[in-house]
A and B are shown apart, each in its own frame.
Chain A
């Protein structure tokens, strides 16, 4: 193709590159700022002069967080909820999706209807909360895991995938006398690694970043995941402080707050770190998922 060298084309290039650079800066700056601030001295943080590189480089903030124990505990909690939750999600979603992807399944339409209705209509917050309480799951890890065991979108993506597998494979296995369960384990699963990976990551990111269920279902703060600690440490503390100092008062809370800025930044960064590390490698799987979901959604 001939390169367009006209003035209008160059103007367009300027617009494109300016916008992209703006996009990169706006997206990366806050994250780099959190990292730099978490490694800066409290004097630099109080003065608010940290941009994207540490000033007065120190690891004290991370050391103090590790010693205090609250954040490491919450980190471990988050890992446990993410691993157990994702495992339950994958087992439940894949077995249901596989069964419903087989055309000869008796009652298939009934199952499908059961799965689709909640997409449009659900019980909502209060009935679900009361159910979880009545089941005795209040203040238990399972309150975070069981109510969302199957996401309907993910179920549909998996089912679409299983339906797309070539039927000849199973037919020949069925002729050799394999039952549905053997077909699943020996033929389908080895072909489905990619979809398990994608859906597993969808669920894992969701678990890692979730906080609302923990807020409504956990009584003991020792069970809190990292995101809840973040909420308590920065957001809840801040709204109290702001409410108190909105008429330009420097309260005691204010002064305490100032000294722990670096700790807040460090906690922020720890909470984002696992996702920042994995997402560039998994994003293409996510995109596949988005496309599959939007086709059927």
Chain B
């Protein structure tokens, strides 16, 4: 049964081209029911994944819908150069990178701390209750999360501004103030992701051999000492991998949340590469230009991820792929 694979990929010297082809056909026929099951998936990947990849060619063109990719004028790197010279180029890079940096500094450590503290709870029911509640935000949609924020931060009767006014302050227009965009993005990120991101650390902690804790207790170790010398080392490989993964994503940031949270008044801090691609491409129909921006972004992302993975492999002998 395993011969099928060998014939399709490896044995290039075995027999003539014709006999290899014949053999492959026999193998395909033998697995015809499975081939039939794989077919819809293959068609899906070709249509919805590979045809768009081919569409990337338009980044090197001056693409016009009526001419298609075959008939559009080739301009090679002009769209890319246009982006590099764009007045917003540095602003877009800065905004994208800064949100990611803030995520690494402020969002990333919180699930780790949460998992370590949760691990100290002995009561199983209590522990499970806290954990269940902590997943809740993961199941709420982005429009609802941002919607709740808008209501809470409203200058007209929103809870936060009520408190500010009760303390004698002036109401703050959080959503139209460029200086507030990043803090709001990061705070809502913490709210949404803490419980869910902690899962992987909680699982790593539950795999720690309990005898380690017991023998440390016999040696007279205090609880916080066990936490630092047993629990933290147990999850540190996971922490390093997750951290590197985050660093690999330094220049990638989805458009969805930013689009919901930004207003034209905050573009100075809130416009990122992905929202720029959306605006230019779908609002202004500059297909070639925005595809070029997106291709530039993917190429950098792949390079960063590759570097992060290489470092991960060197440091922990575990790689992301």
A contact set with B: CB distance below 8 Å:
1-2, 4, 6, 8-9, 12-13, 15-16, 19-20, 23-24, 26-28, 30-31, 33-34, 37, 45-48, 91-93, 95-96, 98-100, 102-111, 114-115, 117-118, 120-131, 135, 146-150, 155, 179-181, 184, 205, 208-212, 216, 227-228, 230-231, 233-235, 238-239, 242-243, 245-246, 254, 257-258, 261, 264-265, 268, 271-272, 275-276, 279-280, 283, 286-287, 290-291, 294, 297
Contact = CB atoms under 8 A, between A and B. Distances in A.
- 7 tightest A-B CB contacts, nearest first: A123-B52, A127-B55, A96-B41, A48-B157, A209-B141, A106-B27, A99-B38
B148 interface: yes
Contacts of B27: 106
Given A124-B295, A126-B294, A127-B58, A99 B34 contact: yes
A178 to B, nearest CB: 10
Nearest to A101: B34
A111 B40 CA distance: 12
Given A1-B217, A150-B45, 15 more contacts: A20-B117, A23-B130, A34-B151, A45-B157, A103-B2, A114-B42, A121-B298, A130-B287, A150-B41, A180-B31, A227-B144, A243-B263, A245-B155, A268-B147, A272-B144
Given A234-B147, A268-B144, A12 B224 contact: yes
30 contacts: A8-B224, A19-B114, A23-B130, A23-B134, A27-B136, A27-B191, A34-B148, A48-B156, A98-B34, A111-B41, A117-B49, A123-B52, A125-B274, A126-B58, A126-B291, A129-B281, A131-B51, A150-B45, A209-B140, A211-B142, A230-B144, A234-B151, A239-B176, A242-B175, A268-B148, A275-B141, A276-B136, A276-B139, A279-B139, A291-B199
Most buried by A among B52, B199, B214, B222: B52
B95 interface: no
Given A106-B35, A283-B132, A230 B147 contact: yes
Interface string B178-200: 00000000000001001110011
A61 B157 CA distance: 18
A275 B113 CA distance: 27
A106 B282 contact: no
A4 B143 contact: no
A235 B223 contact: no
Nearest to B222: A8
A254 B176 CA distance: 15
B205 interface: no
B118 interface: yes
Contact of A126 (B47, B134, B158, B290): B290
Given A92-B40, A127-B52, A231-B143, A239 B263 contact: yes
Interface residues of B, number: 106
A238 B53 contact: no
B141 A125 contact: no
B275 to A, nearest CB: 11
B157 A149 contact: no
A234 B291 contact: no
A118 B28 contact: no
Nearest to A148: B48
A20 B130 contact: yes
B37 A184 contact: yes
A96 B42 CA distance: 8
Interface of B: 1-2, 4-5, 8-9, 24, 27-28, 30-31, 33-38, 40-42, 44-56, 58, 65, 113-114, 117-118, 120-121, 126, 130, 132-137, 139-144, 146-148, 150-152, 154-159, 162, 173, 175-176, 191, 194-196, 199-200, 203, 213-214, 217, 222-224, 227, 255-256, 259-260, 263-265, 274, 277-278, 281-282, 287, 290-291, 294-295, 298, 302, 305, 320
B302 A128 contact: no
A294 B200 contact: yes
Nearest to B299: A121
Interface of A is mostly: helix
Contact of B55 (A46, A131, A205, A242): A131
A127 B38 contact: no
B147 A264 contact: yes
Nearest to B55: A127
Contacts of B143: 211, 227-228, 230-231, 234-235, 271
B278 A125 contact: yes
A50 to B, nearest CB: 9
A8 B223 contact: yes
Contact of B176 (A246, A258, A264): A246
A41 to B, nearest CB: 13
Given A24-B133, A126-B277, A242-B175, A108 B294 contact: no
Contact of A104 (B31, B49, B114): B31
A148 B173 CA distance: 38
A28 B150 contact: no
Most buried by A among B37, B51, B117, B203: B37
Given A147-B48, A230-B144, A235-B146, A47 B151 contact: no
B117 A19 contact: yes
A106 B120 contact: no
Nearest to B148: A30
Contact of A128 (B48, B126, B217): B48
A93 B290 CA distance: 31
A123 B45 CA distance: 12
Contacts of B121: 16, 20
A95 B1 contact: no
Contacts of B277: 124-126
